[in-house]
Structure 1
Protein backbone atom coordinates (compact mmCIF):
# COMPACT_ATOMS: atom_id res chain seq x y z
CA UNK A 1 0.00 0.00 0.00
CA UNK A 2 2.79 2.42 0.95
CA UNK A 3 4.68 1.60 -2.26
CA UNK A 4 1.59 2.30 -4.41
CA UNK A 5 0.99 5.62 -2.63
CA UNK A 6 4.62 6.63 -3.16
CA UNK A 7 4.37 5.82 -6.86
CA UNK A 8 1.20 7.91 -7.13
CA UNK A 9 2.94 10.83 -5.41
CA UNK A 10 5.88 10.64 -7.83
CA UNK A 11 3.54 10.53 -10.85
CA UNK A 12 1.52 13.45 -9.46
CA UNK A 13 4.71 15.45 -8.81
CA UNK A 14 5.97 14.81 -12.35
CA UNK A 15 2.58 15.83 -13.74
CA UNK A 16 2.59 19.09 -11.77
CA UNK A 17 6.19 19.81 -12.78
CA UNK A 18 5.28 19.28 -16.43
CA UNK A 19 2.39 21.73 -16.13
CA UNK A 20 4.66 24.34 -14.50
CA UNK A 21 7.31 23.95 -17.24
CA UNK A 22 4.64 24.26 -19.92
CA UNK A 23 3.25 27.42 -18.28
CA UNK A 24 6.77 28.92 -18.03
CA UNK A 25 7.53 28.29 -21.70
CA UNK A 26 4.26 29.88 -22.73
CA UNK A 27 5.03 32.90 -20.59
CA UNK A 28 8.31 33.60 -22.45
CA UNK A 29 8.31 36.62 -24.78
CA UNK A 30 8.81 35.31 -28.32
CA UNK A 31 10.32 38.64 -29.36
CA UNK A 32 13.28 38.20 -27.00
CA UNK A 33 16.39 36.41 -28.22
CA UNK A 34 18.78 34.89 -25.72
CA UNK A 35 22.46 34.82 -26.69
CA UNK A 36 25.67 33.49 -25.20
CA UNK A 37 28.21 35.67 -23.42
CA UNK A 38 30.66 35.13 -26.29
CA UNK A 39 28.07 36.31 -28.83
CA UNK A 40 27.31 39.33 -26.65
CA UNK A 41 31.00 40.34 -26.64
CA UNK A 42 31.17 39.88 -30.41
CA UNK A 43 28.18 42.19 -30.91
CA UNK A 44 29.63 44.77 -28.51
CA UNK A 45 32.94 44.75 -30.45
CA UNK A 46 31.07 45.21 -33.73
CA UNK A 47 29.13 48.12 -32.25
CA UNK A 48 32.39 49.74 -31.12
CA UNK A 49 33.91 49.32 -34.60
CA UNK A 50 30.79 50.84 -36.17
CA UNK A 51 30.95 53.79 -33.77
CA UNK A 52 34.55 54.47 -34.79
CA UNK A 53 33.61 54.28 -38.48
CA UNK A 54 30.78 56.73 -37.91
CA UNK A 55 33.17 59.07 -36.10
CA UNK A 56 35.63 58.93 -39.02
CA UNK A 57 32.85 59.57 -41.52
CA UNK A 58 31.63 62.57 -39.53
CA UNK A 59 35.17 63.95 -39.45
CA UNK A 60 35.51 63.44 -43.21
CA UNK A 61 32.17 65.17 -43.74
CA UNK A 62 33.35 68.19 -41.74
CA UNK A 63 36.63 68.31 -43.70
CA UNK A 64 34.77 68.21 -47.03
CA UNK A 65 32.35 70.89 -45.88
CA UNK A 66 35.25 73.12 -44.79
CA UNK A 67 37.01 72.50 -48.09
CA UNK A 68 33.86 73.36 -50.03
CA UNK A 69 33.47 76.56 -48.03
CA UNK A 70 37.10 77.43 -48.76
CA UNK A 71 36.48 76.99 -52.49
CA UNK A 72 33.35 79.14 -52.34
CA UNK A 73 35.17 81.89 -50.42
CA UNK A 74 38.14 81.93 -52.81
CA UNK A 75 35.89 82.01 -55.88
CA UNK A 76 33.89 84.91 -54.47
CA UNK A 77 36.75 86.93 -52.97
CA UNK A 78 39.59 86.33 -55.46
CA UNK A 79 37.51 85.88 -58.60
CA UNK A 80 39.21 82.55 -59.32
CA UNK A 81 37.67 79.76 -61.32
CA UNK A 82 37.36 76.12 -60.32
CA UNK A 83 40.08 75.33 -62.88
CA UNK A 84 42.46 77.76 -61.14
CA UNK A 85 41.80 76.16 -57.76
CA UNK A 86 42.27 72.66 -59.13
CA UNK A 87 45.60 73.64 -60.69
CA UNK A 88 46.77 75.08 -57.37
CA UNK A 89 45.70 71.90 -55.59
CA UNK A 90 47.56 69.78 -58.14
CA UNK A 91 50.76 71.80 -57.74
CA UNK A 92 50.46 71.55 -53.97
CA UNK A 93 50.02 67.77 -54.14
CA UNK A 94 52.99 67.45 -56.48
CA UNK A 95 55.14 69.43 -54.05
CA UNK A 96 54.08 67.33 -51.06
CA UNK A 97 54.50 64.01 -52.90
CA UNK A 98 57.85 64.94 -54.49
CA UNK A 99 56.69 65.06 -58.11
CA UNK A 100 57.72 68.67 -58.74
CA UNK A 101 61.07 70.44 -58.96
CA UNK A 102 61.90 72.52 -55.89
CA UNK A 103 64.17 75.56 -55.66
CA UNK A 104 65.20 77.42 -52.53
CA UNK A 105 67.86 78.04 -49.94
CA UNK A 106 69.24 75.14 -47.98
CA UNK A 107 72.31 73.04 -47.28
CA UNK A 108 74.46 70.39 -48.94
CA UNK A 109 75.84 67.59 -46.74
CA UNK A 110 78.71 65.37 -47.88
CA UNK A 111 79.15 62.08 -46.01
CA UNK A 112 81.90 59.45 -46.33
CA UNK A 113 83.30 56.54 -44.33
CA UNK A 114 85.83 57.33 -41.64
CA UNK A 115 89.50 57.17 -42.65
CA UNK A 116 90.85 56.91 -39.11
CA UNK A 117 92.81 53.86 -37.95
CA UNK A 118 90.84 51.04 -36.36
CA UNK A 119 91.60 50.95 -32.62
CA UNK A 120 91.96 47.81 -30.52
CA UNK A 121 88.72 45.84 -30.10
CA UNK A 122 86.83 48.37 -32.24
CA UNK A 123 84.16 47.09 -34.61
CA UNK A 124 85.03 47.95 -38.26
CA UNK A 125 81.35 48.70 -38.87
CA UNK A 126 81.67 51.72 -36.58
CA UNK A 127 83.76 53.47 -39.24
CA UNK A 128 81.32 52.81 -42.10
CA UNK A 129 78.28 54.85 -43.12
CA UNK A 130 75.12 52.71 -42.86
CA UNK A 131 71.58 53.18 -44.11
CA UNK A 132 70.39 53.87 -40.56
CA UNK A 133 72.90 56.74 -40.33
CA UNK A 134 71.50 58.33 -43.50
CA UNK A 135 67.93 57.81 -42.28
CA UNK A 136 68.65 59.43 -38.91
CA UNK A 137 70.21 62.47 -40.59
CA UNK A 138 67.28 62.78 -43.00
CA UNK A 139 64.83 62.60 -40.08
CA UNK A 140 66.73 65.40 -38.32
CA UNK A 141 66.47 67.51 -41.49
CA UNK A 142 62.72 66.87 -41.72
CA UNK A 143 62.25 67.83 -38.07
CA UNK A 144 64.06 71.09 -38.80
CA UNK A 145 61.58 71.99 -41.54
CA UNK A 146 63.19 70.72 -44.71
CA UNK A 147 60.73 70.99 -47.62
CA UNK A 148 62.61 68.72 -50.05
CA UNK A 149 65.54 66.30 -49.74
CA UNK A 150 67.63 64.33 -52.22
CA UNK A 151 70.51 61.84 -51.91
CA UNK A 152 73.00 61.86 -54.79
CA UNK A 153 70.29 63.52 -56.89
CA UNK A 154 67.65 60.95 -55.92
CA UNK A 155 64.49 62.64 -54.60
CA UNK A 156 63.40 61.35 -51.21
CA UNK A 157 59.69 60.56 -50.91
CA UNK A 158 57.72 59.63 -47.76
CA UNK A 159 57.89 55.96 -48.83
CA UNK A 160 61.46 55.95 -50.18
CA UNK A 161 63.59 52.96 -49.20
CA UNK A 162 67.24 53.41 -48.26
CA UNK A 163 69.40 50.28 -47.97
CA UNK A 164 73.15 49.89 -47.66
CA UNK A 165 75.40 47.23 -49.16
CA UNK A 166 79.07 47.56 -48.32
CA UNK A 167 80.29 50.97 -49.44
CA UNK A 168 77.12 51.73 -51.44
CA UNK A 169 73.53 52.64 -50.64
CA UNK A 170 70.37 51.99 -52.64
CA UNK A 171 67.74 54.72 -52.83
CA UNK A 172 64.46 54.16 -54.70
CA UNK A 173 65.98 51.00 -56.24
CA UNK A 174 69.03 52.88 -57.56
CA UNK A 175 72.51 52.22 -56.13
CA UNK A 176 75.05 54.98 -55.40
CA UNK A 177 78.63 54.94 -54.17
CA UNK A 178 80.41 57.35 -51.86
CA UNK A 179 80.49 60.18 -51.18
CA UNK A 180 76.83 60.42 -50.21
CA UNK A 181 75.60 63.92 -50.95
CA UNK A 182 72.38 65.10 -49.33
CA UNK A 183 70.67 68.23 -50.59
CA UNK A 184 68.02 69.77 -48.36
CA UNK A 185 65.84 72.81 -49.06
CA UNK A 186 64.63 74.88 -46.13
CA UNK A 187 65.83 77.52 -43.69
CA UNK A 188 69.57 77.01 -44.01
CA UNK A 189 70.40 78.10 -40.47
CA UNK A 190 67.89 75.66 -38.93
CA UNK A 191 69.05 72.84 -41.18
CA UNK A 192 72.72 73.51 -40.42
CA UNK A 193 71.99 73.50 -36.67
CA UNK A 194 70.31 70.10 -36.98
CA UNK A 195 73.58 68.69 -38.35
CA UNK A 196 76.38 70.47 -36.50
CA UNK A 197 74.84 70.99 -33.05
CA UNK A 198 76.67 68.96 -30.35
CA UNK A 199 73.52 66.91 -29.61
CA UNK A 200 72.83 65.97 -33.23
CA UNK A 201 73.24 62.46 -34.61
CA UNK A 202 75.60 63.72 -37.32
CA UNK A 203 77.92 65.19 -34.67
CA UNK A 204 77.94 61.83 -32.89
CA UNK A 205 79.07 60.12 -36.09
CA UNK A 206 81.71 62.74 -36.80
CA UNK A 207 83.15 63.22 -33.31
CA UNK A 208 82.63 59.69 -32.01
CA UNK A 209 83.59 57.58 -35.01
CA UNK A 210 85.41 59.92 -37.37
CA UNK A 211 82.76 59.74 -40.11
CA UNK A 212 83.44 62.48 -42.66
CA UNK A 213 80.61 65.02 -42.62
CA UNK A 214 80.77 68.40 -44.33
CA UNK A 215 77.97 70.99 -44.37
CA UNK A 216 77.66 73.85 -46.87
CA UNK A 217 74.97 76.54 -46.78
CA UNK A 218 73.57 77.66 -50.15
CA UNK A 219 71.26 80.52 -51.15
CA UNK A 220 69.81 78.41 -53.94
CA UNK A 221 69.50 74.66 -54.27
CA UNK A 222 67.63 72.82 -57.00
CA UNK A 223 66.10 69.45 -56.20
CA UNK A 224 64.53 67.65 -59.13
CA UNK A 225 61.27 65.75 -58.99
CA UNK A 226 61.09 62.02 -58.34
CA UNK A 227 61.75 59.83 -61.38
CA UNK A 228 60.61 56.24 -61.26
CA UNK A 229 63.33 53.69 -61.93
CA UNK A 230 62.88 51.55 -65.06
Structure 2
Protein backbone atom coordinates (compact mmCIF):
# COMPACT_ATOMS: atom_id res chain seq x y z
CA UNK A 1 0.00 0.00 0.00
CA UNK A 2 2.70 2.30 0.95
CA UNK A 3 4.59 1.43 -2.20
CA UNK A 4 1.56 2.25 -4.34
CA UNK A 5 1.05 5.61 -2.63
CA UNK A 6 4.69 6.38 -3.09
CA UNK A 7 4.48 5.69 -6.81
CA UNK A 8 1.36 7.81 -7.08
CA UNK A 9 3.10 10.67 -5.28
CA UNK A 10 6.07 10.36 -7.60
CA UNK A 11 3.82 10.60 -10.62
CA UNK A 12 2.14 13.72 -9.22
CA UNK A 13 5.49 15.33 -8.46
CA UNK A 14 6.71 14.50 -11.94
CA UNK A 15 3.64 16.05 -13.53
CA UNK A 16 3.91 19.14 -11.33
CA UNK A 17 7.61 19.56 -12.17
CA UNK A 18 6.87 19.34 -15.88
CA UNK A 19 4.18 21.99 -15.50
CA UNK A 20 6.58 24.31 -13.72
CA UNK A 21 9.22 23.87 -16.41
CA UNK A 22 6.74 24.45 -19.18
CA UNK A 23 5.37 27.49 -17.37
CA UNK A 24 8.84 28.97 -17.05
CA UNK A 25 9.60 28.24 -20.68
CA UNK A 26 6.38 29.82 -21.88
CA UNK A 27 6.90 32.82 -19.59
CA UNK A 28 10.36 33.48 -20.95
CA UNK A 29 9.16 32.89 -24.46
CA UNK A 30 6.29 35.32 -23.98
CA UNK A 31 8.62 37.92 -22.56
CA UNK A 32 10.95 37.55 -25.52
CA UNK A 33 8.08 37.82 -27.97
CA UNK A 34 6.66 40.86 -26.18
CA UNK A 35 10.08 42.53 -26.05
CA UNK A 36 10.68 41.79 -29.71
CA UNK A 37 7.29 43.21 -30.67
CA UNK A 38 7.87 46.33 -28.62
CA UNK A 39 11.30 46.77 -30.15
CA UNK A 40 9.92 46.26 -33.64
CA UNK A 41 7.14 48.81 -33.07
CA UNK A 42 9.61 51.32 -31.70
CA UNK A 43 11.90 50.89 -34.72
CA UNK A 44 8.92 51.22 -37.07
CA UNK A 45 7.79 54.43 -35.36
CA UNK A 46 11.31 55.82 -35.51
CA UNK A 47 11.54 54.89 -39.16
CA UNK A 48 8.17 56.53 -39.82
CA UNK A 49 9.20 59.70 -37.98
CA UNK A 50 12.56 59.79 -39.77
CA UNK A 51 10.83 59.40 -43.14
CA UNK A 52 8.43 62.27 -42.40
CA UNK A 53 11.26 64.49 -41.26
CA UNK A 54 13.16 63.68 -44.43
CA UNK A 55 10.18 64.52 -46.56
CA UNK A 56 9.72 67.75 -44.56
CA UNK A 57 13.40 68.61 -45.00
CA UNK A 58 13.17 67.98 -48.74
CA UNK A 59 10.07 70.16 -48.95
CA UNK A 60 11.70 73.01 -46.99
CA UNK A 61 14.87 72.72 -49.06
CA UNK A 62 12.84 72.93 -52.27
CA UNK A 63 11.00 75.98 -50.93
CA UNK A 64 14.33 77.60 -50.02
CA UNK A 65 15.72 76.91 -53.48
CA UNK A 66 12.56 78.38 -55.02
CA UNK A 67 12.84 81.50 -52.86
CA UNK A 68 16.50 81.92 -53.73
CA UNK A 69 15.71 81.67 -57.45
CA UNK A 70 12.88 84.15 -57.05
CA UNK A 71 15.18 86.46 -55.08
CA UNK A 72 17.82 86.29 -57.83
CA UNK A 73 15.17 87.04 -60.44
CA UNK A 74 13.96 90.04 -58.40
CA UNK A 75 17.53 91.26 -57.92
CA UNK A 76 18.12 91.00 -61.65
CA UNK A 77 14.92 92.97 -62.26
CA UNK A 78 16.04 95.60 -59.75
CA UNK A 79 19.43 95.92 -61.48
CA UNK A 80 17.73 96.27 -64.86
CA UNK A 81 15.38 98.95 -63.54
CA UNK A 82 18.27 100.79 -61.87
CA UNK A 83 20.15 100.73 -65.16
CA UNK A 84 17.07 102.08 -66.92
CA UNK A 85 16.78 104.83 -64.31
CA UNK A 86 20.42 105.79 -64.93
CA UNK A 87 19.77 105.86 -68.67
CA UNK A 88 16.71 108.06 -68.16
CA UNK A 89 18.68 110.37 -65.86
CA UNK A 90 21.42 110.59 -68.48
CA UNK A 91 18.86 111.33 -71.20
CA UNK A 92 17.21 113.95 -69.01
CA UNK A 93 20.59 115.50 -68.29
CA UNK A 94 21.34 115.67 -71.98
CA UNK A 95 17.87 117.07 -72.69
CA UNK A 96 18.34 119.63 -69.94
CA UNK A 97 21.63 120.69 -71.54
CA UNK A 98 19.92 120.88 -74.93
CA UNK A 99 17.08 122.98 -73.49
CA UNK A 100 19.62 125.18 -71.72
CA UNK A 101 21.51 125.69 -74.99
CA UNK A 102 18.26 126.41 -76.81
CA UNK A 103 17.28 128.95 -74.16
CA UNK A 104 20.69 130.59 -74.49
CA UNK A 105 20.36 130.68 -78.28
CA UNK A 106 16.85 132.08 -78.04
CA UNK A 107 18.04 134.81 -75.67
CA UNK A 108 20.94 135.55 -78.00
CA UNK A 109 18.60 135.85 -81.00
CA UNK A 110 16.24 138.08 -79.02
CA UNK A 111 19.20 140.28 -78.23
CA UNK A 112 20.30 140.42 -81.87
CA UNK A 113 16.73 141.22 -82.94
CA UNK A 114 16.48 143.90 -80.28
CA UNK A 115 13.57 142.24 -78.51
CA UNK A 116 15.08 142.41 -75.03
CA UNK A 117 16.89 144.97 -72.92
CA UNK A 118 20.63 144.34 -72.83
CA UNK A 119 23.43 145.53 -70.60
CA UNK A 120 27.15 144.93 -70.61
CA UNK A 121 30.63 146.28 -71.16
CA UNK A 122 31.63 147.76 -74.49
CA UNK A 123 32.89 150.80 -76.31
CA UNK A 124 31.58 154.14 -77.51
CA UNK A 125 32.82 155.64 -80.75
CA UNK A 126 32.07 159.27 -81.51
CA UNK A 127 32.25 160.50 -85.12
CA UNK A 128 32.21 164.26 -85.54
CA UNK A 129 32.52 166.50 -88.56
CA UNK A 130 36.04 167.72 -89.27
CA UNK A 131 37.11 171.27 -88.51
CA UNK A 132 36.02 173.82 -91.09
CA UNK A 133 38.67 174.38 -93.73
CA UNK A 134 38.15 177.55 -95.82
CA UNK A 135 40.52 176.17 -98.41
CA UNK A 136 38.26 173.15 -98.90
CA UNK A 137 35.77 173.92 -101.62
CA UNK A 138 33.58 170.86 -101.12
CA UNK A 139 31.99 170.84 -97.66
CA UNK A 140 31.23 167.11 -98.02
CA UNK A 141 34.92 166.42 -97.62
CA UNK A 142 34.87 167.07 -93.85
CA UNK A 143 31.39 165.96 -92.72
CA UNK A 144 30.36 162.45 -91.55
CA UNK A 145 28.49 160.40 -94.13
CA UNK A 146 26.65 157.12 -93.79
CA UNK A 147 29.55 155.15 -95.27
CA UNK A 148 31.75 156.40 -92.42
CA UNK A 149 29.20 155.09 -89.92
CA UNK A 150 28.97 151.80 -91.84
CA UNK A 151 32.73 151.29 -91.56
CA UNK A 152 32.57 151.51 -87.78
CA UNK A 153 29.44 149.36 -87.48
CA UNK A 154 30.78 146.62 -89.75
CA UNK A 155 34.07 146.47 -87.87
CA UNK A 156 32.22 146.24 -84.55
CA UNK A 157 29.99 143.40 -85.76
CA UNK A 158 32.98 141.55 -87.22
CA UNK A 159 34.74 141.91 -83.86
CA UNK A 160 31.85 140.30 -81.98
CA UNK A 161 29.62 143.18 -80.95
CA UNK A 162 26.36 141.80 -79.56
CA UNK A 163 24.28 144.96 -79.83
CA UNK A 164 24.84 148.38 -81.41
CA UNK A 165 23.07 151.72 -81.08
CA UNK A 166 23.58 155.08 -82.78
CA UNK A 167 22.75 158.15 -80.72
CA UNK A 168 20.77 155.86 -78.43
CA UNK A 169 18.74 154.29 -81.25
CA UNK A 170 19.32 150.59 -81.27
CA UNK A 171 19.97 148.80 -84.55
CA UNK A 172 18.12 145.65 -85.55
CA UNK A 173 18.98 142.94 -88.07
CA UNK A 174 17.17 144.86 -90.84
CA UNK A 175 18.02 148.45 -89.94
CA UNK A 176 18.96 150.89 -92.70
CA UNK A 177 21.04 154.07 -92.61
CA UNK A 178 20.73 156.89 -95.15
CA UNK A 179 22.53 160.18 -95.49
CA UNK A 180 20.15 163.14 -95.75
CA UNK A 181 22.16 166.35 -96.00
CA UNK A 182 23.79 167.22 -92.67
CA UNK A 183 21.96 164.40 -90.87
CA UNK A 184 21.70 160.65 -91.23
CA UNK A 185 18.44 158.75 -91.17
CA UNK A 186 18.23 155.48 -89.22
CA UNK A 187 15.07 153.45 -89.74
CA UNK A 188 13.16 156.64 -90.50
CA UNK A 189 14.57 158.69 -87.59
CA UNK A 190 16.99 161.55 -88.29
CA UNK A 191 20.11 162.17 -86.22
CA UNK A 192 22.52 165.10 -86.47
CA UNK A 193 26.25 164.89 -85.90
CA UNK A 194 28.11 164.02 -83.78
CA UNK A 195 27.20 160.36 -84.05
CA UNK A 196 27.79 158.28 -80.93
CA UNK A 197 28.03 154.60 -81.81
CA UNK A 198 27.65 152.36 -78.75
CA UNK A 199 28.52 148.66 -78.91
CA UNK A 200 28.20 145.92 -76.27
CA UNK A 201 30.88 143.25 -76.37
CA UNK A 202 34.40 142.43 -75.27
CA UNK A 203 35.89 145.86 -74.59
CA UNK A 204 39.50 145.01 -75.41
CA UNK A 205 38.66 143.12 -78.58
CA UNK A 206 36.41 145.86 -79.94
CA UNK A 207 38.87 148.63 -79.11
CA UNK A 208 41.82 146.74 -80.60
CA UNK A 209 39.92 146.05 -83.83
CA UNK A 210 39.10 149.73 -84.31
CA UNK A 211 42.62 150.89 -83.46
CA UNK A 212 44.43 148.58 -85.86
CA UNK A 213 47.10 150.36 -87.90
CA UNK A 214 45.67 151.18 -91.29
CA UNK A 215 42.24 150.16 -90.05
CA UNK A 216 38.95 151.97 -89.53
CA UNK A 217 40.27 154.73 -87.29
CA UNK A 218 43.16 155.66 -89.61
CA UNK A 219 40.84 155.56 -92.62
CA UNK A 220 38.34 157.96 -91.03
CA UNK A 221 40.99 160.33 -89.73
CA UNK A 222 42.49 160.48 -93.22
CA UNK A 223 39.07 161.58 -94.46
CA UNK A 224 39.01 164.50 -92.00
CA UNK A 225 36.58 162.80 -89.58
CA UNK A 226 37.12 163.34 -85.87
CA UNK A 227 37.29 159.93 -84.24
CA UNK A 228 37.20 159.30 -80.49
CA UNK A 229 37.03 155.94 -78.75
CA UNK A 230 36.08 155.31 -75.12
CA UNK A 231 35.85 152.04 -73.24
CA UNK A 232 32.73 151.59 -71.08
CA UNK A 233 32.30 149.29 -68.10
CA UNK A 234 28.54 149.25 -68.64
CA UNK A 235 26.29 150.13 -71.54
CA UNK A 236 22.54 149.68 -71.45
CA UNK A 237 20.23 149.46 -74.46
CA UNK A 238 16.46 149.40 -74.39
CA UNK A 239 14.51 146.95 -76.57
CA UNK A 240 13.23 148.04 -79.95
CA UNK A 241 9.62 149.11 -80.11
CA UNK A 242 7.27 148.26 -82.94
CA UNK A 243 7.89 145.79 -85.75
TM range (shorter): 0.5 to 0.7
* Other-structure match for 1:195: 210
CA–CA distance in structure 2, aligned partners of residues 195 and 79 of structure 1: 41
CA offsets 1:90-135 (integer angstroms, 9 cap, x no match): 4233123221111111101111111141435x53212111111101
Moved over 3 A (4+): 72-75, 78-90
CA–CA distance in structure 2, aligned partners of residues 159 and 123 of structure 1: 32
Listed as ranges, the gaps of 5+ residues in structure 1 are: 1-71
CA offsets 1:58-97 (integer angstroms, 9 cap, x no match): xxxxxxxxxxxxxx99971067499988765542331232
Let me know the Cα RMSD of the aligned residues. Answer: 2.8
Q: Does 1:164 align with 2:179?
A: yes
Structure with a larger share of its residues in helix: 2
The Cα shift of 1:210 comes to 2.5
- Contact 2:184 2:192 survives alignment (8 Å): yes
Give the aligned length. 156
1:163–1:187 distance in 2 versus 1, CA, 3 Å: same
CA offsets 1:129-158 (integer angstroms, 9 cap, x no match): 111110111001111111110001111122
- Contact 1:151 1:181 survives alignment (8 Å): yes
Name the larger-Rg structure.
Answer: 2
TM-score, reference length from structure 1: 0.59
TM-score, reference length from structure 2: 0.56
Equivalent residue in structure 2 for 1:126, among 133, 141, 156:
141
- Contact 2:144 2:193 survives alignment (8 Å): no
Listed as ranges, the gaps of 5+ residues in structure 2 are: 1-87
Question: SS of the residue aligned with 1:111?
Answer: strand
